[in-house]
Structure 1
Amino acid sequence: MASSLHASTVPYPLHISGLSVDFSKSAKNVESAQVRIGKSHAPVERATGKTLQLIFYPPMKLSIEDSFSLHVRHSTWFRMKTVGIQFDTEDIFRVFGASGELETREYTKVHKNFTVIVELSRNTATEVLAGSSSGGSQELQPTTDEIIRICPRFRILVIGNTGVGKTSLINHAFGVENATASHNKPGEATIDNEFISPQNNRFVLHDSKGFEPGGEDNFKTVQDFIDRRGKMPDLKNQLHAVWLCFEIPRAGGRLLETGTEAFLTLKRDGKLGKIPIVVVLTKYDMLLDRVDRTLHHSSIGRLSEDDVNKLIKTTADAELQDVCIGPLKKFAGPDIPHATISTEDCHKETLACLIRMTENCVRQHVATEASVMTSMAQRVDPGLNIQASIEVGKKKYWKALASSTIFKDHSMWDCLRVLHTDIVAVWNFNDPRGYLYSPEFRTLMANMVNELDVGPTADPTRNIAFGLSIVGTISGILSALAGPAAPIVVPIVASIVIANWVYEAYQRSCAALQRFMKYIIDLTLVLQTLYLVSENQELTRRTIKLAIKSYHESPTSRAVHARIQEYDRQSTFLERADRGSLDRFVQLIQSYSISREEMSGLRVDIPVVGSLPDEPWEDEKT
């Protein structure tokens, strides 16, 4: 098959970042679908209406020799039938190669009343640059590939009665909409049903009602489910955490029903296995409002607003201790993890506390891969993404920056590729078109490393507040645009013209080490800025360009590069890297991390970016 294509038409494998199936014009009742590429199979999840969708993170490689098909199951009056849709990979490569474009493109196939759209790119996280010196050396594999293979999703069971706020909690914690694991079929047990959101496929939700009086059947259902999942051999199928949700009762109210007391007693006695159970006390904002309304004016007197708020919180926390925490510890033991949360904007930091607590429990009691996936799945705490990125980096490739032969015989571009893939994967943005894996974005980041070396050196001892620096720059950029639809021009080359040093073969030197360090920190801080401006919305190139331009033009970027150059002058990092000590590098990254509390405050001061039509990586006039 491959012989009929000219070798220069498509020099690299293609990569599939997404696939969608539209059957709105079909009268068939579609139940499920499966995509098959070579020997790999993957289910296509139901999206909205009469559509199915599958997103690949990282993108799946498609070679011209691979078989590629979609199998759709639908019901008839008498039985289930399967429709097989075969793709001509040679035609896919021919169409894509003829376009001459390098960014993501769509390939559409219509089969009867089914329309299938495949999102493809030529160069993504797994391609090798033309001119690479890799030769016959082993391909560098991102560390996240292995983590995702072992544990592709964070699997969580959420228990709670209707009205406690489970759906709102999941929506906000994982950045999705309309989270539910129930198919709403009367009489059907739903705890085994899996909810995987097309907006965030790094977690899978199991849902259960709480333990109401007379609900012995549900108690047994939950107990059996936890036991079954605990015995499964593969980490990806095991349960990684349980959130047991209660609405904070009024003073004098009862928090725990008999069934819940029995459940917590089982956990305390070790009869539910190692699975972490975190008690989540919801609607904290309503408790604060009740306390505020009941405070006597004489107790407030002439207190300032800050002092009044502190008094409200102190009073509310005392009520929590009496009504909630005390009963919990009685049945679950003194060490039961618990978090008080609200999904209201002014209390979003409470969600970050819950996520951090959960991640820590998963790390201690389940597995490292599951804890990394917890960090990847959540979308409320950017600091946790940075922490996970550091953990993933230190597993393998960061140790290789100056002391290992892993990068030997590879080009700098190929080495940067695995570093880039690991960092982007950990942030888990809503990026269905794979813009963050595109060669254009990677080129922008590589050229930023080179471009920021030009000009005066900033004072490396100056401690710049990253958040305030970035917000001020963002506001200035947006206010300077000629209009809301004016394109954002990035002051760095965004085309495939890359700085010459990326073509060089890796070599152990201070110059190479500097470039690696700058790339890693620049990428991390650009993604942190992107988190600030995107607010869990689907990424566009416009939003990504705003994040790049804001970081590039902020005082922080030059300060970061200056501090790295200072390490070089001291010649300490290269020496210590031989002994595996990356502490100073890690501390530099962490020093620019924005906490969840700061993030909420900073977002208030950012003008609305808007959901305008997307724009290309480069303006035609540049």
Structure 2
Amino acid sequence: MSSVSQDDRKVLFSRFTPPRFRILVIGKTGVGKSSLINHIFGVEKTIASHDKPGDASIDHEFISPQNDKFVLHDSKGFEPGEENNLEIVRDFIDRRRNMSAPEHQLHAIWLCFEIPRAGGRLLETGTEEFLRLKSSGTLGNVPVIVVLTKYDMLIDRIERNLDETSLNGMSDEAVKEFAKNKAETELQDICIGPLKKFAGRDIPHAEISTEEDYQKTLTRLIQITESCVGHHSTPEAAVMTSIAQRVHPGLKIKASIEVGKRRYWKALASSTTFKNCKTWDCLYVLHTDIVNVWNFYDPHRYLHSQEFREMIVKMVDKLEVEPTANPTKTITIGLSMVGTIAGIVSALAGPAAPIVVPIAAGAVLAVWVHDVYQISHAVLQRFMSYIAHLTLVLQTLYLLSESQELTRRAIKLAVTSYLASPMSGEVHARIQEYDTQLTVLERADRDTLDKIVEVIQFYSINAEDISRLRAEIPPVGSSSLDEPWENEKS
């Protein structure tokens, strides 16, 4: 039996370490830059310019200890009396554009404005010139996304000024939709029109608010940003964007798929990359890459621990031997998951009730993870199951964590909730159904990769539903309510 080549081993065991997403945020003091950064990237403390946005040099790199996957550069904008700031920003963009290393390049610019009142002025002279430079191509390909802040204040103002007589008989939802439509009309007049005049018709823009009821405006902004970065830069840069942000779980799943496709998912069935390596070693690499993409605030590295890795392995084995749900049965994924999680979280809300993960009694670390990996029915199916289950457990954990520091209790709760949901059994059934239909040879050159993607995407919860579900789930609790791993053992 031939051994794995040195090059193959380097590919397999190389650590996935994408460069940080580097962003320049431009805007006047008070426009809401710090709040925007804190919400999008899941950090609690203001990091822009040492709590004084605009005071630091544009070259200063702000990196949060709560999320070190992005680098922030801050600019105070183009206010009257600060005409030289346009040259400072232009020089910064030019220097970053000419840097060869991806981690030093600038990946996106957010140009922030507070939405003005009707009749108010959106653009200062310096901003108009900046947009002309961008439109002419002088600033290169780095995407500029216009961010119109404090959208909630526009909605509130419009709702206060609505004619009560015209609202007779309308439901609350209808009134909100009516106000939103009026807001869109006003935005076109006072914001979008002036932008198109100086930046062209296709200037990407997003109106946002960091208030609780406007979470979907933030997901839309990061989705626009990721799309622009992918279009104007490289796929790797788009992946960096998805990893850094903490508001759009769908982009996490998309990034996880992109990383897996490029590195080795297809090799699970069609190459010798994994051949003769210990199965546990292969799982170690798969697990590490998937966890890194989700970029939780995990200072204790609980998601990388042996205990959590073994928990996922045991889950795969448990589902292997137990009856599985009918994969053709249609269920409402979001409602099914939130009902399960809300019930479990409510029952275990206090620190007095330790969470016991329902792994089969007497289960020990599965023998198959220590075996030498060969292309076989059982091993391929388990690799596929591991990837899918781990990704969806992390999606559940995303619902529970809200960018807070991870605890073992929260992780165990995510596993418990996922196992108790119909989703876990259906995922395994779908993989089983696929795997039994194909021979090993067919798997080697057909759609193993596509099936993994299909299963994960089918059970992913979109960003809007995530926001709604989070509102219905009780808080998990702080790190002071943590508990050891041992409670999950039988």
Tell me if both proteins adopt one fold, taking TM over 0.5 as the criterion.
yes
Residue 465 of structure 1: how far off its partner (Å): 2.7
Q: Please tell me whether residue 159 in structure 1 is matched to residue 26 in structure 2.
A: yes
Structure 1 counterpart of 2:481: 613
Distance 1:419 1:522 in 2: 12
Q: Please tell me whether residue 464 in structure 1 is matched to residue 334 in structure 2.
A: no
Residue 178 of structure 1: how far off its partner (Å): 2.4
Q: 2:343 aligns with which of 476, 479, 494?
A: 476
- Superposed CA deviations along residues 377-414 of structure 1, whole A, max 9, x for unmatched, are 00000000000000111112111111110001111111
Report the residue type matching 2:481 in the other structure.
Answer: P
- Superposed CA deviations along residues 283-331 of structure 1, whole A, max 9, x for unmatched, are 1111100110111112212112222111111000000011101110110
Query: Which structure: larger Rg?
Result: 1
Structure 1 counterpart of 2:179: 312
Structure 2 counterpart of 1:110: none
Distance 1:186 1:554 in 2: 45
Question: Once superposed, what is the RMSD of the aligned Cα atoms?
Answer: 2.4
Q: Please tell me whether residue 525 in structure 1 is matched to residue 395 in structure 2.
A: no
User: Which runs of no fewer than 5 residues in structure 1 stay unpaired?
Assistant: 1-132
Q: Confirm or deny: 8 A CA contact 1:180 1:207 kept in the other structure.
A: no
Report the residue type matching 2:486 in the other structure.
Answer: E
Distance 1:240 1:519 in 2: 33
Q: 1:482 to 1:435 in 2, by over 3 A?
A: closer
Q: Please tell me whether residue 383 in structure 1 is matched to residue 250 in structure 2.
A: yes
Once the two structures are superposed, the pairs formed by residues 78-117 of structure 1 within 5 Å of their partners are none
Q: Confirm or deny: 8 A CA contact 1:440 1:495 kept in the other structure.
A: no
Q: 1:138 to 1:366 in 2, by over 3 A?
A: closer
Once the two structures are superposed, the pairs formed by residues 169-568 of structure 1 within 5 Å of their partners are 169-183=36-50, 189-481=56-348, 483-492=350-359, 497-568=364-435
Q: Confirm or deny: 8 A CA contact 2:49 2:55 kept in the other structure.
A: no
Instruction: Compare 338-347 and 485-494 and name the one that shifted more.
Output: 485-494
Instruction: Compare 365-374 and 486-495 and name the one that shifted more.
Output: 486-495
Q: Give the secondary-structure state (helix, strand or coil) at the position aligned to 1:279.
A: strand
Residue 226 of structure 1: how far off its partner (Å): 0.8
Q: Confirm or deny: 8 A CA contact 1:248 1:255 kept in the other structure.
A: yes
Distance 1:143 1:203 in 2: 25
TM-score normalized with structure 1 length:
0.75
Structure 2 counterpart of 1:583: 450
Q: Confirm or deny: 8 A CA contact 2:377 2:440 kept in the other structure.
A: no
Q: Confirm or deny: 8 A CA contact 2:313 2:386 kept in the other structure.
A: yes
TM-score normalized with structure 2 length:
0.94
Distance 1:144 1:587 in 2: 26
Q: Please tell me whether residue 145 in structure 1 is matched to residue 15 in structure 2.
A: yes
Higher helix share: 2
Q: Confirm or deny: 8 A CA contact 2:349 2:476 kept in the other structure.
A: no
Q: Give the secondary-structure state (helix, strand or coil) at the position aligned to 1:425.
A: helix
- Superposed CA deviations along residues 80-117 of structure 1, whole A, max 9, x for unmatched, are xxxxxxxxxxxxxxxxxxxxxxxxxxxxxxxxxxxxxx
Q: Give the secondary-structure state (helix, strand or coil) at the position aligned to 1:566.
A: helix
- Superposed CA deviations along residues 13-33 of structure 1, whole A, max 9, x for unmatched, are xxxxxxxxxxxxxxxxxxxxx
Distance 1:235 1:201 in 2: 16
Higher strand share: 1
Q: 1:620 to 1:393 in 2, by over 3 A?
A: closer
Distance 2:153 2:440 in 1: 51
Q: 1:227 to 1:143 in 2, by over 3 A?
A: farther
Report the residue type matching 1:614 in the other structure.
Answer: D
Residue 345 of structure 1: how far off its partner (Å): 1.3
Residue 196 of structure 1: how far off its partner (Å): 0.3
Residue 479 of structure 1: how far off its partner (Å): 3.7
Report the residue type matching 2:391 in the other structure.
Answer: T
Distance 2:295 2:62 in 1: 18
Instruction: Compare 601-610 and 542-551 and name the one that shifted more.
Output: 601-610
Once the two structures are superposed, the pairs formed by residues 19-38 of structure 1 within 5 Å of their partners are none
Distance 2:232 2:49 in 1: 28
Report the residue type matching 2:405 in the other structure.
Answer: E
Residue 186 of structure 1: how far off its partner (Å): 12
Q: 1:481 to 1:186 in 2, by over 3 A?
A: closer
Q: 1:619 to 1:457 in 2, by over 3 A?
A: closer
Aligned residues: 487
Report the residue type matching 1:304 in the other structure.
Answer: S
Residue 360 of structure 1: how far off its partner (Å): 1.1
Q: 1:621 to 1:412 in 2, by over 3 A?
A: closer
User: Which runs of no fewer than 5 residues in structure 2 stay unpaired?
Assistant: none
- RCO comparison, higher one (Cα < 8 Å, 6+): 2
Q: 1:477 to 1:243 in 2, by over 3 A?
A: same
Report the residue type matching 2:180 in the other structure.
Answer: K
Q: Give the secondary-structure state (helix, strand or coil) at the position aligned to 2:30.
A: coil
Report the residue type matching 1:229 in the other structure.
Answer: R
Report the residue type matching 2:15 in the other structure.
Answer: D
Q: 1:334 to 1:145 in 2, by over 3 A?
A: farther
Instruction: Compare 294-303 and 533-542 and name the one that shifted more.
Output: 294-303
Q: 1:324 to 1:493 in 2, by over 3 A?
A: same
- Superposed CA deviations along residues 196-244 of structure 1, whole A, max 9, x for unmatched, are 0000000010001111122211111111111111111211111111000
- State percent identity of aligned pairs: 64
Distance 2:38 2:172 in 1: 32
Q: 2:461 aligns with which of 594, 609, 617?
A: 594
- Superposed CA deviations along residues 227-274 of structure 1, whole A, max 9, x for unmatched, are 111111211111111000000111111111111000000000001111
Q: Confirm or deny: 8 A CA contact 1:341 1:351 kept in the other structure.
A: yes
